[in-house]
Structure 1
Amino acid sequence: MNKEFYAGNRKSLYQKLEAGSLVVVFSGHAPIKTNDENYPFFTNRNFLYLTGIEQENIVLMAYVGEGTIEETLYILPPDAFAERWTGRRIKEEEAEELSGITNYKYVAAFRNDFSRQLFSGNVKKVYLDFDKVYENTPAVEAYRLGKYLKEHAPFVGLGNLHPIMKQLRLIKKPCEIEAMKKAETITKAGIEAMMKTSKPGMYEYQYKAEFDYALAQRGVLSPGFPSIISSGKNNFKIHYYDYRGQAQDGDMILNDVGAVWDYEINDVSRAFPCNGRFNDRQKLLYECIYNTSEYMFSTLKPGVPLLDVDKIIRKYTFEQLKEAGVCKNFEDIGTYMWHGGAHHVGFDVHDVVEGSGLAVPGVVFCVDIGVYHEEWGIGFRLEDNCLITEDGCENLSRAIPRQIDEIEAFMGRR
């Protein structure tokens, strides 16, 4: 991504706001892990989408007037002692090259500037990013500032930036799609590394080490989200992060993983027998979800209601399982399908987008089909990334081995 991308994102945002709006977006900060140790910092994704800058405790403020935009980025001041411990702080010229923002102040000036704007008489509404998914999530800067405004400036309206950002992030720009395609090639290398080295007796952490090494060799120091890599009975824990299980001969290896490139994340699931050969029951279930996946990629196109994708996946998979003699009634499908079949990807692995409308070109989401047969001890999923095009769709992760013959041949068992 370049500064034109981020400047364009901000312009799109400002165009959706009425004159007299004041926008404030915080980069966030790393929460305390224990004692004097913090978790690694992870930039607020809406802030990143608007600026391209990864640095904690900085602020973007923009006033939208009648035909004018005044935007300022409040950065941390140089501090040789602090930087010795916590790393180099971004300089104005570097921030401008990344974001295209031209006006900078140190973050200590933010409160005074905010108050001056607030009481100038020009501000009708302040927009903050209220992004809580769960009610019990600890309050961050936007919520604390919102509380202050309700108590001390009730004459100013309070707007939520989050629904607007969900609209903006839905359709991916060409540079985003290119970054996703690059991430797919790296994810492919990681999954293939696990397939190549797989054998009975391997521990899940060894599979993870193969994946992480392949990513690091290609410039990705951390995956786009915590990798889910499991074997055997651990496949029945949907979000599994323990990695201490040992693959036994005949176990399926489930991996739900994804690299990130230029902040764009992909999310891919592949399953393969640790010994490289599918047994009859594994083949039966795998063919069911593979057929569903192929059906979805043959039918998804502009105009399909996004909220119907999961319903279609469940219905078509049921028909496959019924034909295979696994499931008799649609009411029983929940016994074998435990999670949704689609979610958007982008700057977040479960991307923050407005996904209740119709599919349009540039939308990217996962086609995620999972089947879990506890009685047989077989559980896995097949997940690919779907780009809606002008007249259909494209499977961005198709090159990663996904057919039974293809997987067995790649693992050297054919």
Structure 2
Amino acid sequence: MTKEYYRGNRERLYAGMKDGSILVLFSGSPVRKTNDEFYPFYTNRNFLYLTGLDQQELALIACKDQGGAVIEKAYILPPDLMAERWTGERIKPQEAADVSGIEDIAFVSSFEADLHRLCTCGRYERIYLDLFRVSTADRDEPAHMLLRRMGSDYPFISVENANILIRRLRTIKQPCELEAMRRAEEITCAGITSMMKASKPGMYEYQYKAVFDYALGQYGPQGPGFPSIISAGKNNFCIHYYSYKGQALDGDMVLNDVGAWHDHMMTDVSRGWPCNGRFNERQKLLYNMALDTSNHMFSIIKPGMKMADVDGESHRYCAELMKDAGLLDDVKNIGKYMWHGGAHHVGYDVHDVVETLEVIAPNMVFCVDIGIYHEEFGIGFRLEDNCLVTETGCENLSAMTPRTIEALEDMMRKDFTAF
């Protein structure tokens, strides 16, 4: 992504803000794991979307005056030779300006004084903070800490939620974002097909994961975009499975729900195959139902379709197939075999935080996720692809990763070789 991209994102955000307002965003702080160890830092996605600055303890302040003019300043960590010796080089002012397109770069030591001056100068009536939470039990982010202070220190400043505006921007993907996603799809395909070629009875789930991680490692240091779900046999019936301790026995299906990222954009792709490389009749029956359902969805998704119908129609269509095959007595009982929804947005997050529109629009990207879990047969898998909505229909961005039984079996006959 270029600085023009980040500058454009901010300008679109500023256009949605009310005059006489301040915007404050934070990159986030590392989470302590144990004693003196922290979890790997993961920059707040909205901050990254607006600045491109990928480092901890950074901040952005932007002020929109009553005439609509905006001034902005980014705050970075100061040079610290000892700290950088331990944890790596900190971004420099010119580097921050070159990446973000923000000309005014200061050190975080001046953040509090600048914010106090702006809040008390009398020119601003409100402040925008990114106040997103998935759950009320989530730990406080810097924005939530500042929110509590605003009530006591600056009660005359009203608070607006910037997250509402930013998620609206992230709903529709831009050309450079789609280009990055296409590259991420290629990398994801390399990881999945490597697992297919390495697959054999007796392999442990952690060995499949090692193959996937190794393949992705040939394309850069970022690795998977999210924790990989890789399971076999009975473990396929745990939808979000991360143990990697199971073993794929002869005849077991291998399930994976994985994705790479490139230039901050993620993919989310699922494939399932028998570890021995040959589908049995029951596996063929269920897999072709998932494939037919997926192909049906890609044939009907287009602008103007209701987003809720992606889930609804995929379940309805698959239920009819199962009823015709004698697996269901009533299509209303599809929940016995389809346990989760069939669509979620993808982008900066694997479950992208966007505005949920009632109808589909061009340049949305979301998953078409067909999961079938037949416990009596011992078969569980999902077929998940990334759908780009076009002006007249849609495109399967992950179609390059083998989807048909013939393509899967053909790929598994190939030898896995180290890069």
- The TM-score range, normalised by the shorter chain, is over 0.9
The answer to whether the 8 Å contact 1:220/1:259 transfers is: no
State, as a whole percentage, how many aligned pairs show the same letter: 56
Counterparts of residues 256-275 of structure 1 (less than 5 Å): 256-275=257-276
Q: Where in structure 2 are there 5+ consecutive unaligned residues?
A: 415-419
Structure 2: distance between partners of 1:315 and 1:266: 26
Shift in Å, 1:307: 2.2
Q: Aligned residue for 1:174?
A: 175
The answer to whether the 8 Å contact 1:180/1:266 transfers is: yes
Q: Aligned residue for 2:25?
A: 25
- Cα-to-partner distance string for 1:243-268 (whole Å, 9 max, x where unaligned): 11110000000000000000000000
Shift in Å, 1:357: 2.4
Structure 2: distance between partners of 1:181 and 1:221: 16
Q: Where in structure 1 are there 5+ consecutive unaligned residues?
A: none
- Cα-to-partner distance string for 1:170-207 (whole Å, 9 max, x where unaligned): 00000000000000001111011000010000111111
4+ runs of 1 displaced by more than 3 Å?
none
TM-score, length-scaled by structure 2: 0.97
Counterparts of residues 109-258 of structure 1 (less than 5 Å): 109-258=110-259
Structure 1: distance between partners of 2:368 and 2:391: 18
Which letter maps to 2:412? M
The answer to whether the 8 Å contact 1:307/1:355 transfers is: no
Structure 1: distance between partners of 2:221 and 2:400: 19
Q: Aligned residue for 1:304?
A: 305
Q: Aligned residue for 1:82?
A: 83
Q: Aligned residue for 1:346?
A: 347
Q: Aligned residue for 1:49?
A: 49
The answer to whether the 8 Å contact 2:222/2:261 transfers is: no
Which letter maps to 1:78? P
Which letter maps to 2:131? F
Structure 2: distance between partners of 1:143 and 1:220: 32
The answer to whether the 8 Å contact 1:307/1:356 transfers is: no
Aligned residues: 413
Structure 2: distance between partners of 1:219 and 1:133: 30
Shift in Å, 1:283: 0.5
Q: Aligned residue for 1:38?
A: 38
- Cα-to-partner distance string for 1:303-348 (whole Å, 9 max, x where unaligned): 1111221111111111111111111213311111111100000000
Helix, strand or coil for the counterpart of 2:285? helix
Helix, strand or coil for the counterpart of 1:97? helix
TM-score, length-scaled by structure 1: 0.98
Q: Aligned residue for 1:375?
A: 376
Structure 1: distance between partners of 2:18 and 2:340: 40
Structure 1: distance between partners of 2:37 and 2:410: 47
Alpha-carbon spacing, 1:283–1:220, altered in 2? closer, same or farther (3 Å): farther
Shift in Å, 1:221: 3.2
Which letter maps to 1:38? F
Q: Aligned residue for 1:99?
A: 100
Shift in Å, 1:220: 4.6
Structure 2: distance between partners of 1:38 and 1:124: 38
Which letter maps to 1:374? E
Helix, strand or coil for the counterpart of 1:255? strand
Structure 1: distance between partners of 2:319 and 2:356: 24
- Cα-to-partner distance string for 1:36-82 (whole Å, 9 max, x where unaligned): 11100000000000000111001000001113111000111101011
Q: Aligned residue for 2:417?
A: none
Aligned residues: CA RMSD:
0.9
Structure 1: distance between partners of 2:141 and 2:187: 34
